[in-house]
Structure 1
């Protein structure tokens, strides 16, 4: 069940990141951006000592912020 929630959160986070940065990305692109963004966001939250409750909303916010950061850097590097 945890993997399914993670995939759903990754899809939502990736779709939001693509929308915010006016980027194109299909189902797989949004999933990859969202999952990588969730990892990036989680590491940054740990680095800055942010204490999250571990709920779905916390995970979604961290994943969206990490996805936006990841996609922004990706676009700057590979443009």
Structure 2
């Protein structure tokens, strides 16, 4: 996937994950969360046996968004434990 596609998918996935989890991030944070989410989502999808084409498509956005939500959930769990 080209770097521009990674950026666009990352921003979209990060934005959707932000809205689903009720957080409030900026554009750069959404990008980072979305790209990390793409790795997490890809790892989860491969563990479950899913195969999909890489690139800028709906499947990539869905996988990256699910990964970003999982990443934000784990991050929230870690931050919640530190706050106790």
TM over 0.5: yes
- The structural deviation recorded for 1:53 is 3.6
1:27-46 matched pairs, under 5 angstroms: 27-46=27-46
Q: CA deviation at 1:51?
A: 1.8
Question: What is aligned with 2:63?
Answer: 62
TM superposition score normalised by structure 1: 0.92
TM-score, normalised relative to structure 2: 0.87
Task: Count how many residue pairs are aligned between Structure 1 and Structure 2.
Answer: 79
Instruction: Give the distance between the partners of 1:75 and 1:24, measured in 2 at CA.
Output: 13
Name which of structure 1's ranges 47-56 and 2-11 shifts more when overlaid on structure 2: 47-56
2: CA distance, partners of 1:36 / 1:69: 10
Q: How does 1:1-79 map to 2 (within 5 A)?
A: 2-54=2-54, 56-79=57-80
Q: Give RMSD over aligned pairs.
A: 1.3
Q: Which runs of 4+ in 1 moved over 6 A?
A: none
Q: Secondary structure at the match of 2:46?
A: helix
Q: Which runs of 5+ in 1 are unaligned?
A: none
